[in-house]
Amino acid sequence: MRVSTSMIFQGLTDKLANNAADMAQLQSQIATGNNYATPSDAADIVGRVQAVESRLKTLEADTKAVTRVKVGVDAQARALEIAAEVMDRLKEIAFRGANDPQPQAVLETLAEEVAGIKRSLVDLANMRDADDRYVFGGARSGEIPYVLNADGSVTYEGSTSPLRVRVNDASYEDASVPGVSVWKSIPRDGEAVDMFSILTSYENALRSGAVEGRQQGLRDVEALSNNVGLAIAKTGAAQQRLEISERQAQETAIRAQKSLADLKELDFAAALAQLQKQELLMQASQSLLGRLSQLSLLDSIR
Partner 1 sequence: MVDLVSIGVSGLGAYQRALATTSNNIANLQTEGYVRQRAVIESAGQDNLSRVSLGNGARFTEVQRLYDRFAEENLQRASSSLKGEEALLKELQSLQDSIGSSEAGLHGAFQAFFDAARDLEAAPASPGSRAGFLAAAEGLSARFRGLGTAVETLDGTTRTQVDQAVSEINTLLGEIASLNTQLVKRASDSEQPMQLLDRRDAALKALSEGLGVTVELGPSGAATVFAGESASGVALVENGRARTMTVTFDPYDFGKAEFVLDAASQPVVLANVRTGTLGGLVNFRGQALGPTADKLDELALAFGREVNKLHRQGLDSLGRPGQDVFYVGPDFVVDGRANAGTSRLGVEVVNSNAVDARSYEMRFDASRNIWTLRDLKTGSSVQGTNNLVMGGLKFSIQGTPRDGDTYRITPESHPATTFRTLIKEGAEVASAAKLVTKAALRNFGTSSADIHLSEARAAETFRSISDLLPKSVPLGEQSFTRNVPLRDDTLVTANATPIAVIPAGYSKVALSTSAAGGELAIFTRDGRQLAGPAMAASVVRAANGFHADATYSDDYLNKTGANGYLDQSLVFGVSQVPGSQLDIDGNRVLTPAKIFGGVVDLAGFTAGDTVDLQINGETVSITVPTPVTLTGLASAINTHKASTKAIAETTTDGKLVFKSYHEIVVPSASLNNTSSITLSGVAFTVAAAQLAGRTPAQYLRDAINATESGVTASVSSAGALVLTNSEGAAGEPIVIGSNTVGLTSQTYFNDRNLSIGVPSTESASVLRSLGLRNGFVMNAALAEDLLVFGVNNQGLAASVYLSGSYEAGSVPATLAPDAREYKLRFESGNYSLVDIATNTEVAAGVFDTTTRAVQYGNWTVSLSGIPADLDEYTIQPTDEPLGDNRIAAALANLQGNRAMLASKQTVQQEYENLVNRVGAITVQAEIAKDAQQVVFDHAREGRDQISGVNLDEELADLLRYQQAYQANAQVIQVANRLFDSLLQRL
Residues within window 6-65 making contact with partner 1, judged by CB under 8 A: 6-7, 10-11, 14, 38-40, 43-51, 53-54, 57-58, 60-61, 64-65
Residues of this chain, 90-109, that bind partner 1 according to CB under 8 A: none
Position among 162, 205, 228, 246 found at the interface with partner 1 (CB under 8 A): 162
Interface characters, 245-284, with partner 1 (x: CB under 8 A):
----------------------------------------
Tell the smallest beta-carbon distance from residue 25 to partner 1 (Å): 13
User: Does 150 help bind partner 1 (rule: CB under 8 A)?
Assistant: no
Position among 158, 199, 220, 246 found at the interface with partner 1 (CB under 8 A): 158
Position among 29, 35, 69, 200 found at the interface with partner 1 (CB under 8 A): 69
> Is residue 66 within 8 Å of 245, Cβ to Cβ?
yes
Position among 89, 96, 164, 241 found at the interface with partner 1 (CB under 8 A): 164
Tell the smallest beta-carbon distance from residue 240 to partner 1 (Å): 19
Position among 74, 81, 194, 222 found at the interface with partner 1 (CB under 8 A): 194
Position among 97, 113, 124, 133 found at the interface with partner 1 (CB under 8 A): 133
Tell the smallest beta-carbon distance from residue 133 to partner 1 (Å): 6
Count the residues of the shown chain that bind partner 1, applying the rule CB under 8 A.
76
Residues of this chain, 205-244, that bind partner 1 according to CB under 8 A: none
